[in-house]
Homo-oligomer: A and B are copies of this chain.
């Protein structure tokens, strides 16, 4: 949605970036209730321009989530270079969590599934899963995590972690949650 199109006219590109930035800011501040008109105004464009890029509010939320998933993949790729197999895994989780922490719009979209469509997200997710899959395999082969750990567990744990972030706004809570999750990964 935000990607893979022939380049936009310079002013249109600038507007697009302003829109996503404003959306992120207002969703973070007001939750899903943030209004499309306010977002457009905040970005300094007409409401029609906003709708030209994102046909629905859902689509706008989805675009923000996709950006975050792409960030996840970048984090995982970097974590994969860590020599210690366990560290690579734990660091992926921790860095992704930190990245989500600063992105209330993502948490929100994530927590309000029925109010947005996942169009195109599968794409980003499978790119992410490829890396995470390798990181998990390595940790398992090295015997530093329980032998039945699998890819889906990762997403599940991140999902739970995101949920507590959304509910309990303090950093300490989700770090504690992460600690408990990691403890559950110890070799059997």
Give residues in A with beta carbon < 8 Å to B: 30-33, 108, 111-115, 146, 152-153, 156-157, 159-164, 166-168, 173, 176-177, 180-186, 188
Contact = CB atoms under 8 A, between A and B. Distances in A.
A115 B166 CA distance: 13
Nearest to A31: B114
25 contacts: A31-B115, A32-B112, A111-B113, A111-B163, A113-B166, A152-B173, A152-B176, A153-B176, A156-B164, A156-B173, A157-B160, A157-B177, A157-B180, A159-B160, A159-B163, A159-B164, A159-B167, A160-B160, A160-B163, A163-B163, A181-B184, A183-B185, A183-B186, A184-B185, A186-B186
7 nearest A-B residue pairs (beta carbon): A160-B160, A184-B184, A31-B114, A163-B163, A183-B184, A180-B184, A111-B111
Given A32-B114, A180-B181, 9 more contacts: A108-B114, A111-B113, A112-B114, A146-B183, A152-B173, A156-B177, A156-B180, A159-B164, A160-B163
Contacts of A162: 163
Contacts of A183: 146, 183-186, 188
Contacts of A31: 114-115
A116 to B, nearest CB: 11
Nearest to A111: B111
A39 to B, nearest CB: 16
A30 to B, nearest CB: 8
Contacts of A146: 183
Contact of A156 (B114, B115, B168, B186): B168
